[in-house]
Amino acid sequence: MRLVILESSDSVAEWAAKYVMKRIKDFEAGPSKYFVLGLPTGSTPYGMYQKLIEYYKAGKVSFKFVKTFNMDEYVNLPRDHPESYHFYMWNNFFKHIDIDPKNVHILNGNATDLVEECSSYENEIEKAGGIDLFVGGIGPDGHIAFNEPGSSLVSRTRVKTLAHETLEANARFFGNDINKVPTQALTVGVGTVMDAKEVMILITGTHKAFALYKAIEEGVSHMWTVSAFQQHPHTLFICDEDATLELKVKTVKYFKALSAVHHKLIEDTIPIERSRSIH
Amino acid sequence: MSSFELIQFINCKILRNHKLIQEHLWVRNGKIINPERVFFDEKIKADIVVDCNGCIVAPGFIDIQINGGFGIDFSNCESIESGLNHVAKNLLNSGVTSFCPTIVTSPNDVYKNVLPRIKKNKGGSHGATILGIHLEGPFININKKGAHPSECIKNLDAGFQSLIETYSTLENVSIITLAPELKQMDEVIRKLISLEITVSVGHSMGNLKDGEDAIISGASLITHLFNAMLPFHHRDPGLVGLLASNNIPLERTVYFGIISDGIHTHPAALRIAYRTHPDGLVLVTDGVSAMGLEEGKHNIGQLSVEIKNGMALVAGTTTLCGSIATMETCVNIFLKATGCSIEYALEAASLHPAEALGISHIKGTLNFGGDADFVFLDSDLNVLATWIAGECVYKKENVLIKQGGGII
């Protein structure tokens, strides 16, 4: 497990975007070899998408041979609702880049058979050859995707009934009316993300500091589902200074001492496969 | 490009919801479409990508009052069909994608012969869309006749019947300008509204009450505000007072045409109208046959016209004989005179006229589902190219538009 501590949320966005770009380039994607990317929504990854769009426009990266799988989507929310994850991905990322719509996958929360939708999503991921890099964010309660506290750490893509706290937290996006917040979502499972070849989790802000502490300093717990990634062979946590406030000084110093090594990950000259083996 | 192809316009600032935004514009089958649906439902990419080179893309201009231009006078024209074609084609150069050919007060036989031959007509590379005829007169007040021939001016004493007898047909008519103080006005307006014809008040000695009554009956437009009506008086505000009337039904907007050619309406008058009632302001050229002709002397019909310093004069005199500013010029003059936003100036020539005619669901915006009629403009609002139904119908010399690997 790696923890990269950066100055601000802007640097987290930039670092994450550079890493995604680097992985796509190193992969040498082509018509017969697609890079498969898992993607989150929310305020944390927004900056990363902005940066990726900037790099795309500057001709530094192309998504022509990239397949994407999104983490989750609300159930029964119209696709053009501003809070739907389809809406988010279209407006904040896909419409700006050269990705082929055929290669974009987002769970359909309006499918007639939701269970079938989830299992075919798992099949689609498998058919694509598995996910090369899954990017995620976390909630203040340490959830990844909609795998809220208590979710099984081997869970797969499924329909999830949302906790009341989640509804309360989300009400601000639905005109402060809790009755308008969708009560269910489709989400990839912790196990689905664990199957990715590599996982990069972005954490910014003081309100996520306790979750980061739970994620990396405490043991693996299904009450803090993101902690499962301690056991993933290639996990990168990218956080800003604010998110480290609940960590031990020792932990912070340890990872900061490794920063020179970590920064090599996004350098143009060294292939990632090489720097990856050095911890 | 065939109309079924999916066209994506990139690298442009488009005017949508009263704002210029950095956004792509997607077009198929002559309509503006929602690319989100194409992306997630059809999962296809654009067949053609057009690089707009950073320009402004605004809805095509709509001129609801234009008497002719480029040497043609619609009311006095040997072959109306070829005359219309000639004007429709030339209007594309100034960003006009739709217009209402306007017929001024004329003898009955002109109406009888000409009106059936002016058909509503879809635009394209042959010219701008003809939305329908604007009949300006003969039911106007002789004391505010302007340039209309007084011997042809009529009253409405026999109500709607007088109207039918005069015009013969209303089939292709979109707008009729009437003086609201005439008798039988309420009946006539209600009848016209039921035929989906927009009623405009003008060429009138009417007071504010006459105007308000007409609006309550269903009129929704004022013809070239300030011109051919009583001047604003603070105790008797006349039709100009409609801009600030509190007797207009709540859900209604009074629209008004205004000529911002820099001559027919003083810049201060433009500002007064703009600041008083911005939602209703519709730019019109009221262009005459000399519009679009070069400086110098021209013989148009029996009239000898001299164009001098952007003004059309009766040759050898200083008498103005109509407006000759194109819509492109009117937009620019209006913008400078009022200091309004670029968005507003563009909407006054597109959205507002479409609203005045009740067609803003298909024209006058770049909203999804609307007709793909639009103009490319540089930051000084010079027209660079004009598009109708997703087809490039005019391109200014030396403007490069990159499409796919090539240039159009």
pLDDT tens column, B130-156? 999 999 989 999 999 888 888 999 999
Q: Do B36 and A90 touch (CB under 8 A)?
A: yes
Q: Is A35 left (phi over 0), alpha (psi -120 to 50) or beta?
A: beta
Residue B68 sits in the same domain as residue B39: no
Q: Do A95 and B45 touch (CB under 8 A)?
A: no
Mutation for B interface: A57, A77, A90, A91, most B CBs within 10 A: A90
Q: Is B248 left (phi over 0), alpha (psi -120 to 50) or beta?
A: beta
Residue B261 sits in the same domain as residue B372: no
Mutation for A interface: B40, B43, B51, B368, most A CBs within 10 A: B40
pLDDT value at position B2? 53
Judged against a pLDDT cut of 90, whether residue A19 lies above it is answered with: yes
* Residue B361 counted as domain residue: no
Identity of the residue in B24, B36, B45 whose CB atom sits nearest the CB atom of A80: B36
Judged against a pLDDT cut of 80, whether residue A146 lies above it is answered with: yes
Q: Do A90 and B24 touch (CB under 8 A)?
A: no
* Residue B385 counted as domain residue: yes
**B26: closest chain A residue by CA:** A95
The H helix count followed by the E strand count for chain B is: 10, 26
Q: Do B39 and A102 touch (CB under 8 A)?
A: no
Tell me whether B4 touches chain A (CB under 8 Å): no
Residue type, B270: L
Distance in Å, alpha carbon of B355 to nearest chain A alpha carbon: 26
Residue B178 sits in the same domain as residue B273: yes
Tokens (6 digits) for B30:
């002559």
pLDDT value at position B398? 85
Distance in Å, alpha carbon of B288 to nearest chain A alpha carbon: 46
Over range A153-166, report the average pLDDT: 93
Distance in Å, alpha carbon of A103 to nearest chain B alpha carbon: 9
What is the number of structural domains in chain B? 2
Report CA-CA distances (Å) from B253 to A258, B220, B256, B379.
68, 7, 10, 31
Rg of chain B over all Cα atoms, to the nearest angstrom: 21
Q: Which residues of B form the catalytic set?
A: 286
Distance in Å, alpha carbon of B34 to nearest chain A alpha carbon: 11
DSSP code, position B14 = E
Over range A68-74, report the average pLDDT: 97
Annotated active-site residue in A14, A141, A195, A198: A141
- Is residue A185 within 8 Å of residue A139, measured between CB atoms? no
* Residue B1 counted as domain residue: no
Within 8 A of A101 by CB-CB distance, chain B residues are 38-40, 42-45
pLDDT value at position B302? 67
Distance in Å, alpha carbon of A117 to nearest chain B alpha carbon: 16
Instruction: Confirm whether A72 is a catalytic residue.
Output: yes
pLDDT value at position A275? 58
Within 8 A of B10 by CB-CB distance, chain A residues are none
Full 3-state SS string of B231-251: CCECCECCHHHHHHCCCCCCC
- 């991905």: which residue's tokens? A89
pLDDT value at position A277? 55
Tell me whether B40 touches chain A (CB under 8 Å): yes
Residue B129 sits in the same domain as residue B239: yes
**B38: closest chain A residue by CA:** A101
Pairing of strands A158-161, A184-187: antiparallel
ipTM: 0.91
Within 8 A of B368 by CB-CB distance, chain A residues are none
Within 8 A of B24 by CB-CB distance, chain A residues are 95
Q: Do B39 and A87 touch (CB under 8 A)?
A: no
Tokens (6 digits) for A101:
């719509």
Q: What CATH number is given to the structural domain containing B258? A: 3.20.20.140
Tokens (6 digits) for B37:
């649906």
Q: Do B44 and A80 touch (CB under 8 A)?
A: no
- Is residue B27 within 8 Å of residue B372, measured between CB atoms? yes
Residue B53 sits in the same domain as residue B69: no
Q: Do B43 and A80 touch (CB under 8 A)?
A: no
Q: pLDDT below 50 — which residues of chain B? A: none
Q: Do A101 and B35 touch (CB under 8 A)?
A: no
Domain boundaries defined on chain A? 2-276
Q: How far apart, in whole angstroms, are the C-alpha atoms of residue B374 and residue B58?
A: 6
Tell me whether B22 touches chain A (CB under 8 Å): no
Range of the domain at B126: 61-356
Q: Do A95 and B39 touch (CB under 8 A)?
A: yes
Instruction: Report the topology of domain A2-276.
Output: Rossmann fold (3.40.50)
Tokens (6 digits) for A144:
């990844």
Within 8 A of A77 by CB-CB distance, chain B residues are none
Annotated active-site residue in A14, A73, A132, A143: A143
pLDDT value at position A124? 97
- Is residue A109 within 8 Å of residue A72, measured between CB atoms? no
Per the model's pLDDT, the better-predicted residue between A264 and A91 turns out to be A91
Residue B375 sits in the same domain as residue B396: yes
pLDDT value at position B176? 98
pLDDT value at position B399? 86
Residue B204 sits in the same domain as residue B291: yes
The answer to whether the peptide bond before residue B180 is cis (omega within 30 degrees of 0) is: no
Q: Do B40 and A90 touch (CB under 8 A)?
A: yes
- The SS3 of residue B282 is strand
Q: Do A95 and B44 touch (CB under 8 A)?
A: no
Share the mean pLDDT of chain A.
Answer: 94
pLDDT value at position B320? 77
Q: What CATH number is given to the structural domain containing B388? A: 2.30.40.10
Distance in Å, alpha carbon of B365 to nearest chain A alpha carbon: 20
Tell me whether B234 touches chain A (CB under 8 Å): no
Judged against a pLDDT cut of 80, whether residue A162 lies above it is answered with: yes
Q: How far apart, in whole angstroms, are the C-alpha atoms of residue B124 and residue B297?
A: 32
**Binding site feature residues of B:** 136, 147, 203, 224, 227-228, 235, 264, 320-322
pLDDT value at position B313? 84
Identity of the residue in B40, B43, B45 whose CB atom sits nearest the CB atom of A86: B40
Within 8 A of B35 by CB-CB distance, chain A residues are 95
- Is residue A205 within 8 Å of residue A240, measured between CB atoms? yes
Residue B283 sits in the same domain as residue B324: yes
A&B contacts, CB < 8 Å: 27
**Binding site feature residues of B for substrate:** 147, 227-228, 235, 264, 320-322
Distance in Å, alpha carbon of B43 to nearest chain A alpha carbon: 5
pLDDT digits (tens, 9 = 90+) for A213-267: 999 999 999 999 999 999 999 999 999 999 999 999 999 999 999 988 888 888 8
Tokens (6 digits) for B18:
């009263």
